[in-house]
Amino acid sequence: MRGVNSRDSRIEPSRVICDDPQLLTLLLSKLGDFMRLPWFTALVHGPSMAPTLRHGDRIFVRRVGTARPGDVVVGCFRSRPGLLVVKRVARAEAGGWWLTGDNPFGSDGSEVYGPADVIGRVTFRWWPQPVRLRRGAA
């Protein structure tokens, strides 16, 4: 049996680079879930956080259970347990968090669904143009 040459199985770094943001989002998300890492990635759907985040933005989220007013977070409304949302924390409310969108014309938040639980804090948008998200006015 012929031995395997280590040079033949080497992967060139230029072949590993992924230009497809959807595939990269999926890979990073699955890696975070598999390894139970303290972070995950998500894809923004809808206009509720415009102008801070827009439909199609890819975000990097750090898993936390708490937040402060003004933080942009990924949360889950208690009245809609299967729905993950990206919203801004307004205040603590009844053992949970009051979440609102930045877009007053296209956003349903805690005023419709009630208090939410925070899953993670959005630290930065990495696609289409990387930018760090900072705490804003609640």
pTM: 0.74
Find the range with the poorest average confidence among 31-45, 51-65, 69-83: 31-45
Task: Indicate whether 131 pLDDT > 70.
Answer: yes
How large is the C-alpha radius of gyration of the chain? 19
Task: Give the pair of three-digit tokens for residue 74.
Answer: 């990924």
Residue 137 pLDDT grade (very low, low, confident, very high; cuts 50, 70, 90) = low
Task: Indicate whether 118 pLDDT > 90.
Answer: yes
pLDDT at 57: 94
- CA dihedral of 44, 47, 52, 53, whole degrees rounded to 10: 20
Phi, psi dihedrals of residue 18, rounded to the nearest 5°: -110, 120
CA distance 109 to 83: 12
Model pLDDT for residues 89-116, shown as the tens digit of each residue: 999 998 899 999 999 898 889 999 999 9
- For the domain bounded by 13-129, which CATH number is listed? 2.10.109.10
Residue 7 pLDDT grade (very low, low, confident, very high; cuts 50, 70, 90) = very low
Task: Indicate whether 18 pLDDT > 80.
Answer: no
Q: In the chain, at which residue ranges do the beta strands (DSSP E only) sit? A: 39-43, 58-63, 72-77, 84-93, 96-100, 116-127, 131-132
- Using CA atoms, how far residue 3 sits from 10, 11, 12, in Å, is 15, 18, 21
Taking residues 33-57, report their average pLDDT.
86
Instruction: Give the domain ranges of the chain.
Output: 13-129
